[in-house]
């Protein structure tokens, strides 16, 4: 059990923030920014409702995967309408952990499932193409600024929830 705990807690490298986006209003175009303040309610300037869905994150490496399911190249991250795009670390492996993103600390809460708007954006099959690759929702544990290029990594031994099933 100790070896499993160690393997689950170990990442090959930290990730990095490669895109930050704000949704100023429902159905409004995403606005890419170089930095944002993560507050208890989510990113300042975003229409987030706070709570367990305060911040949405997507895995950069999933953009070409979703694109291939649609028969095209990598997607524009703004089309997925997530707040943060993270590269270089498996976001799914951070479930149940407290994760430092820039100066803020987040905790993944639920999968960020696609909405019917994915059919509108990507055409027929868009919803299914995003399923399983739409990212994560997170609640804010510690507010703070986030900038492009900031490191993303699990806090040591904080909130480690082992699910071996």
Which 3-state string (H, E, C) describes 129-161?
Answer: HHCCCCCEEEEEEECEEEECCCEEEECCCCCCC
In terms of phi and psi (left: phi > 0; alpha: psi -120 to 50; beta: otherwise), the region of 45 is left
Fold of 2-154: M1 Pyruvate Kinase; Domain 3 (2.40.33)
Q: Would you give per-residue pLDDT tens digits along the chain (165 residues)?
A: 677 666 666 666 689 999 999 999 888 999 999 999 999 999 999 998 889 999 999 999 999 999 999 999 889 999 999 999 999 999 999 988 899 999 999 999 999 988 888 999 999 999 999 999 999 999 999 999 999 999 999 988 644 555 544
91 bridge partner residues: none
Pairing of strands 55-59, 84-87: parallel
pLDDT value, residue 83: 97
136 bridge partner residues: 57, 111
């Amino acid at each position: 059990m100790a070896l499993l705990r160690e393997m689950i807690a170990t990442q090959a490298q930290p990730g990095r923030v490669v895109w930050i986006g704000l949704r100023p209003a429902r159905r409004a175009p995403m606005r890419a920014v170089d930095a944002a303040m993560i507050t208890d309610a989510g990113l300042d300037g975003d229409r987030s409702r706070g709570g367990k869905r305060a911040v949405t994150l997507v895995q950069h490496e999933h953009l070409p995967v979703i694109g291939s399911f649609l028969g095209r190249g990598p997607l524009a991250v703004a089309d997925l309408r997530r707040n943060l795009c993270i590269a270089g670390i498996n976001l799914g492996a951070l479930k149940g952990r407290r994760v430092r993103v820039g100066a803020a600390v987040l905790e993944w809460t639920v999968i960020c499932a696609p909405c019917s708007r994915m059919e509108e954006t990507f055409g027929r099959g868009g919803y299914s193409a995003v399923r399983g690759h739409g990212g994560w929702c997170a609640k804010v544990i510690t507010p703070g600024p986030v900038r492009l290029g900031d490191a993303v990594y699990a806090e040591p031994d904080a909130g480690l929830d082992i699910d071996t099933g």
